[in-house]
Amino acid sequence: MRRTFGMIGTTLAGSVGWALGQYVGIGTAVLLSAIGSGVGLYYGFKLFDHWLG
């Protein structure tokens, strides 16, 4: 279940990063998506640990 929270966080935050970066260019979109995915993974795990851990 913890991995599911991480995957959901990664997907949501990565999509937000891509959406914000697409207006600047493809490189920026990829970079912000990668950063957002990492942040989403971290907070997805943290959210699971807080609520269900």
What pLDDT, on a 0 to 100 scale, did the predictor assign at position 39? 97
pLDDT at 3: 96
Give the number of other CB atoms < 10 A from CB of residue 25.
Answer: 10
For residue 53, the model assigns a pLDDT of 78
The pLDDT score that the predictor gives to residue 13 is 98
Separation CA 53–CA 50 (nearest Å): 6
pTM of the complete model: 0.89
Contacts within 8 Å (CB) and 24+ apart, 3-8? 5/44, 5/45, 5/47, 5/48, 6/40, 6/41, 6/44, 6/45, 6/48, 7/44, 8/44
DSSP state of 53: -
Low-confidence residues in the chain, pLDDT < 50: none
Question: What residue has token string 């260019």?
Answer: 25
